[in-house]
Every structure is written in C-alpha cells, then in structure tokens.
Amino acid sequence: MKISELGEFGLIDILTDLTKECKQESNRNILIDSGDDAAAWQNDSAVNMVTVDCLVQGVHFKLDKISWRELGWKALAISLSDIAAMGGNPKYALFSLALPGETDVDNVIDLYKGILELGCRYNVKVIGGNISKAPLVFIDSIVYGAANSPDIMLSRSAAKPGDEIAVTGYLGAAAGGLKIVKSDLPLSGEIKDTLLRAINKPLPRIEEGQKLAAGGVKCAMDISDGLVADLGHICQASHIEAVINIDAVPVHPAVKTAFGNDALDMALSGGEDYELLFTAGHYIIENIKKQFDCPVTVIGKIVAGDNYRVKLLDRSDNTYLPSDKGWNHFGK
C-alpha cells in the first residue's frame, strides 16, 4: 500500500504501535509520549543534551543503495553519535519524516524497524515525531541525552597545548563504502560488506564516549566530516593548533586492501566514520587504552598557535597535503 492511500494518521498509528512494542527501561520517566502535541518526561539528570541531524535523499543517500531498514538505523545512529561525542547517555528520540505519497507503507515500517533496532540496543525510546508530504525523502532525527555532572562531559573547546590527539577504531571505511556506492566498484565478499556496512549501518561509540568522560578526557568530537576537517573544528573551538603524524593514522585494513595508495587520504578526509576524536594528557590516554575493547591510537599532539590549523607531517617531518579536505556542505 502507498502512504497516499493509507494517509498520515493511519501511518502514525502503525509507527506508534511499533514504538510501543519496544519495552525499555527509559519508559519509566515518560509522562506522555507519541499521540499528544508534545512528549513529556520527568527530569532525572544534572545535565541535559539535545542534538538534531538529518538525512536527505540525493544528498546523503540514494534509495537504490541503502535499504529502508539501514536508513532508519543510520538516521538514529548519526544523532546518537553526537550524544556519544559529548560523553552523554542518549535517552529519547523524535523523528520528523518528509515522504513522497508514492512511498510504500512497508518501506516506512522497515525504516522504523531500523530505528527501533538501534534504539532498543541503547535503551533510547522513540517518544514522538512528525510526518509531512515532500517530493523527496527527508529524515530529521532529534535525540535527547543526559550526563550526571557537568564535570563528566566532553566538548570541542577543551583541548590544551601538550595534549595528545587520539582516535577510536579505524578510519576510512565509510569513505570506502561511499566509493563503492558511487562507482559500482568491482569488489566482492567480506571487504565489500565491511565497507558498505560502515557507510550504511554505522555504530555510534556511546559506551566509549561515556568512558572517555569518566576517565578524565575533556575534549572530544565524533568524526562525521573527516579527521582533518573535524580536528580543524576542535582547533577553532579550543584556540589551539594540531599536528598529525600521518604514519600513525589507523587506516582501516579493508580500505588499505581495496584502495592501496588512496587509503591514507580516505582515512584523513573521508567522512561518516563516526569514530571518536579526542585529546588528553599522555597518562589519561594510556589508561583509556587499557579500558577499551576497540583500538585507541595516538595520532599527534596539540600545540599552541593562533592560526587554529591542522598540520600533517610524514616521518621525515615534511608537510603532507591530502588530496581532499573533507565534507563541507555547499563547498565553501
């Protein structure tokens, strides 16, 4: 059935019933959820956080390259990653969907199943949303999170000269997935699956963000625009400069295998890896490494400076210029 046949309210009823099937611990604080003009919940935290992000058909995804279920997962994941980057505990989510009338109702149900699959995994409750008609698919995800104290929180503006710069996991896999999606590269098997999963079904580093904050880290962000571009955001916010040792950058093994000499630039500039980029003193990072299941790699250091730039050096201390500077809406 098409949503133009079912109508807005029939679709809302189906999606509301789906979210109610997902029993979660966070439900206990909710006073009113889907079905009223606004959601309401009792506050139980010292610090509240909220973030919003969107996925737009033709800009962030093509419907023939991602399943509706993956699209739902990704729409929630990108906002959860922003809460992770603050060291927060994500709690509630709202979705505003804009959809063409020709959209099949089963596709929207699959979209919500993807949202709920990830939401249930991290105890994030969908408490409402909005639906509008539009010529393209547009998915807005709003996530509320919390932290127990302002002292246990991460921000982009807390980097200090002398800090080491570190990242979780490996970089470049989402850029590899994007290349496969855009150019139909003749790759197959496990490498193709790994790279496509990275772009279509990213896993936000929620537990890791909370462990960073609890472990004494103050400065972090998630890598959505690309390592160099995002580190530039930290430099701007913290009024410092950064030096990256390019040989230390943890390039994803699947990207090295599939793309050879291009792999480093993909790890430096490719967006959407949703790994955490953070800075802290040497001993704090050594302690963090012992607590994490995923790799934590020191890739450089924070230095004083007024130009707020990111400098890339190779092993001979020569400046390295990547071929691409990372994701930038409207290209300015």
Q: Which residues bind Mg ion (CB under 5 A)?
A: 82, 222, 224
Element (H, E) at 189: helix 189-200
* 260 conformational bin, left if phi > 0, alpha if psi -120 to 50, beta if neither: left
Task: Report the residue number, 82 or 140, with the smaller CB distance to Mg ion.
Answer: 82
Q: How far is the CB of 153 from Mg ion (least distance, A)?
A: 14
Task: Report the residue number, 163 or 222, with the smaller CB distance to Mg ion.
Answer: 222
Give the three-class secondary structure for 278: strand
Task: Report the residue number, 82 or 275, with the smaller CB distance to Mg ion.
Answer: 82
Provide DSSP, 202-248.
Answer: ----HHHHHHHHHTT--EEEE-SS-HHHHHHHHHHHHT-EEEEEGGG
Query: In degrees, to the nearest 5, what angle opens at C-alpha 165 toward C-alphas 160 and 246?
Result: 135
Rounded Cα gap, residues 240 and 236, in angstroms: 7
State how far Cα 314 lies from the chain centre.
Answer: 28
* Strand-strand pairing, 40-41 and 276-280: unpaired
Q: How far is the CB of 7 from Mg ion (least distance, A)?
A: 36
Task: Report the residue number, 108 or 310, with the smaller CB distance to Mg ion.
Answer: 310
Task: Report the residue number, 85 or 288, with the smaller CB distance to Mg ion.
Answer: 85
Q: How far is the CB of 209 from Mg ion (least distance, A)?
A: 11
Provide DSSP, 90-134.
Answer: EEEEEEEEEE-TTSBHHHHHHHHHHHHHHHHHTTPEEEEEEEEE-
Q: How far is the CB of 10 from Mg ion (least distance, A)?
A: 35
Q: Which of 85, 80, 99 is nearest to 157 (CA)?
A: 85
Q: How far is the CB of 224 from Mg ion (least distance, A)?
A: 5
Task: Report the residue number, 103 or 224, with the smaller CB distance to Mg ion.
Answer: 224
Rounded Cα gap, residues 251 and 67, in angstroms: 27
Q: How far is the CB of 85 from Mg ion (least distance, A)?
A: 5
Give helix 105-121 / helix 8-21 axis angle, nearest 10°.
Answer: 30
Q: How far is the CB of 147 from Mg ion (least distance, A)?
A: 16
Task: Report the residue number, 91 or 156, with the smaller CB distance to Mg ion.
Answer: 156
